[in-house]
A and B are shown apart, each in its own frame.
Chain A
Amino acid sequence: MSSATNVETIALPGAEATAVPRRNILWAYGIVGLFALISLGTFAYNEYYTYLSVYLWFGFIYGVCLQYGRFCFSSAFRDLFAVGVPRMAVGIMIATVLFALVGAFVTATGLSTFHPAPTSFHSVVAGFIFGVGMVFAGGCASGSLYKAGEGNGVAVIVILSISVTQAIFADVGGWTNHLVPQAWHESALSKGLPEVINVSDGWVDQYLAGYVWNQPVTTYAQIMGWSNESVAGAFLGNLMVGVVLPAAALLAVVYVFWSRRGFKNKRAKAGGQADFTFKDELAGYWTMILASKRTAIAGLVLGIAAGLHMFVIQGLRVKFGVKNAGTLLERMGFDFGISVNGTVFDPGYWYVTTQEAQWVGWVLQKLGTENMDNIYFGFVNGIPNPAINPADWMSLALIGGAAVMALLHNEFKFKKPTLELATWAMIGGALMGIGSRLGLGCNVGAFFVRVSQGDPSGWLFGFGMIGGAYIGVKFFNWWTERKMAKEFAACDF
């Protein structure tokens, strides 16, 4: 610490040393201190709050990792498709593999809290809508959270837009009921859901109960005839076949189209051999992988943290004798917003979008809108008070963790959005919100987590998301060129 300049030089792992003002460090301590105080205070009040503190501290770790690794799918695909830089896309793929490695350990020990999702074409469509949205918004669901922690106003608007759109979309009925195919309607009615859910009113309700729930739920391990908890199932089925091989193939495609030429040119400039052998190709492939070190490290830590998160949640469920946090909330006297099944959203691992929908759902319910008569809120996730919603603790702590990391690396800065960026943020956020509800998750819940846990629906969502991101980038390029042409035409040189 230099008393003259009142700055401290901080070097984060894998990053250059940065001079950080003392004020930033105090703010970082303040945020950590606040979370510590919440954890200790609530624990002293009631032991059950430990369950929420688990979400808080693991959320904080996720935030630190996301900010450190610049873990944003939107930036990754924009860089790849718009300017041909594959570094972050490669990093995300490596992170997925590393997360899957940790996930395989957790699954093999029988401590996983993960449940695969129904697999069908709906995931591709949902991913496509989400992909277009994240490019328009300039940040995916996870990216927007960590960018909000960096003080980015656009990211805050994106989060608001995702949250509001999901809450409204999950409950939309009226004329949209006419858009529901008769087969979905009949299938939904045949599920025997409680009357309070009113399944015949609501597009998403009938989509879920009449279509999505009829799709197969499986993992690569099960497809190959193993159980998820077996070593062969977890490591060969879910990890090797489900993640490593497809990821290696995708990385090969990225290498051939976006990285190979640059590597060849670099070799030629360095006076390398004229002929480019298979060994050189492998060296180029490996160089591309190593170039994404920071995102990969973040992915590894994210994977370990998510694995431990599952482990701790499972332990506390056994300790308190519950299967879901809804029971704990009821025991603590909070019965508002608990689903008809007595549950609230309690994934037991990293998730982003549902808790965003829940807090808006809770606000709307408080304002007089009936939000508990649909499957999403009323039957499965509930809309508990955000102050005692476990997953909301995770998201808020995630923003806090990202803020601490940004402050300690002097990257925190309040950025006020322009009207144009705010408009794109709202449009993109709305598309991401719709995509998330159709795909039962975002780039984290529907892609990153599912792929790494051997759920085939994750790749389907991912392929749709890549397609959507490609179209989104192409549209944006066209839009920008058109706008610039108009501006140039208006200039009188």
Chain B
Amino acid sequence: MTSSFWKVILVVVGFSGFLMGYAVPPLLEVGMIGGGGEGRDVGIKSDVDEEMEEYYRDLLKDN
């Protein structure tokens, strides 16, 4: 095995490796690999503070 062949392989692996690295973060982010990502936290988010939430829960109790 000589260096010319391996130099070519190195360049090809370098570029395809970069492209693979480029593709992984988005897949991780949406949970397509690793099963994690934002998917676990998706739901209705509220800016209402805890006191107000308690107030609304108490309203229901009154009924």
A→B interface (CB under 8 Å): 8-13, 20, 25, 28-29, 32, 35-36, 39, 50, 53-54, 57-58, 60-61, 64, 109-111, 308, 311-316, 318-319, 404, 408
CB distance from A6 to the nearest CB of B (A): 13
- What would be 14 A-B contacts, judged by CB atoms less than 8 Å apart? A11-B2, A29-B7, A35-B15, A39-B15, A50-B19, A54-B19, A57-B16, A57-B19, A58-B16, A64-B12, A312-B16, A314-B27, A315-B22, A316-B22
Q: Output the residue of B2, B24, B30, B32 with the most chain A CB within 10 A.
A: B2
Q: B4's contact among A10, A39, A53, A111, by CB below 8 Å, is which? A: A10
Do A8 and B4 have beta carbons less than 8 Å apart? Answer: yes
Q: A318's contact among B8, B12, B27, by CB below 8 Å, is which? A: B27
Given A57-B19, A318-B27, A111 and B32 touching (CB < 8 A)?
yes
* Cβ contacts under 8 Å, A312 to chain B: 16, 19-20, 22-23
Q: A25's contact among B1, B4, B19, by CB below 8 Å, is which? A: B4
CB distance from A490 to the nearest CB of B (A): 50
> A316 vs B8: C-alpha distance in the bound complex, in angstroms?
25
Q: A311's contact among B12, B20, B30, by CB below 8 Å, is which? A: B20
- Complex interface bits, B16-53 against A, C-beta within 8 A gives 1, otherwise 0: 10011011111101101100000000000000000000
Given A50-B22, A319-B26, A408 and B4 touching (CB < 8 A)?
yes
Do B23 and A311 have beta carbons less than 8 Å apart? Answer: yes
State the majority secondary structure of interface residues on B: helix
* Cβ contacts under 8 Å, B4 to chain A: 8, 10, 20, 25, 28-29, 408
CB distance from B25 to the nearest CB of A (A): 8
CB distance from B42 to the nearest CB of A (A): 15
> A25 vs B23: C-alpha distance in the bound complex, in angstroms?
32
CB distance from B60 to the nearest CB of A (A): 40
Could you tell me how many residues of chain B have their Cβ less than 8 Å away from some Cβ of chain A?
22
* Cβ contacts under 8 Å, A111 to chain B: 27, 32-33
Minimal Cβ-Cβ distance residue in A for B4: A25
Do B22 and A32 have beta carbons less than 8 Å apart? Answer: no
> A57 vs B13: C-alpha distance in the bound complex, in angstroms?
9
Do A319 and B23 have beta carbons less than 8 Å apart? Answer: yes
> A29 vs B7: C-alpha distance in the bound complex, in angstroms?
9
The answer to whether B11 has its CB under 8 Å from any CB of chain A is yes
Given A10-B2, A28-B8, A53 and B19 touching (CB < 8 A)?
yes
* Cβ contacts under 8 Å, B11 to chain A: 32, 36
* Cβ contacts under 8 Å, A61 to chain B: 12, 16
* Cβ contacts under 8 Å, A109 to chain B: 33
> A111 vs B20: C-alpha distance in the bound complex, in angstroms?
13
> A10 vs B3: C-alpha distance in the bound complex, in angstroms?
8
